[in-house]
Amino acid sequence: SSADPVTVHFINRDGERLTTTAKEGESLLEVVVNQNLAIDGFGACEGTLACSTCHLIFEKDVFQKLDAISDEEMDMLDLAYGLTETSRLGCQVRIKKLMDGLTVQVPVEVSDIRSQLEAGKQS
Ligand code: FES
């Protein structure tokens, strides 16, 4: 039925896979918040299109089936680090049944610099 949960995998900044279930109509930001996924710095503006910390990288086949991108999302996405051809903002993408089994990659950019600094400190 339409209430069936949709399984979504997030590959976190450190490469760890977080598997969760989502409801149709939820945004990917809402999934992260509602399921308490520990993704560092994700969704800083709470979905108001004022940051780009909810940047996610999609698999090509799913990316092509997503709803069209708005000008506002495009403008904010342009500011994201590590932009790819299959990047979208997670707060603007809503869960659909066709996404069942979806894997999205969280870009490494935010914690990348810090982990490099930490690695430098330790050596
Ligand atoms: Fe800030 Fe998506 S949470 S733009």
Q: Is the CB of 43 under 6 A from ligand 1?
A: yes
28 lines ligand 1 (CB under 6 A): no
pLDDT over 50 at 119, yes or no: yes
Q: Is 39 in the pocket of ligand 1 (CB under 6 A)?
A: no
CA distance 107 to 53: 9
Ligand 1 centroid to Cα of residue 89, in Å, is 7
CA neighbor of 104 nearest in space, from 86, 92, 91: 86
pLDDT per position as a tens digit, 68-113: 999 999 999 998 888 999 999 999 999 999 999 999 999 987 533 3
Q: Distance between CA 63 and CA 82 in Å, rounded?
A: 17
Each residue's pLDDT tens digit, 4-57: 899 999 999 999 999 999 999 999 999 999 999 999 999 999 999 998 999 999
What CA–CA distance (Å, rounded) separates 55 from 79? 10
Could you tell me the distance, in angstroms and rounded to a whole number, from the CA of residue 72 to the centre of ligand 1? 11
* Ligand 1 centroid distance, CA of 1 (Å): 30
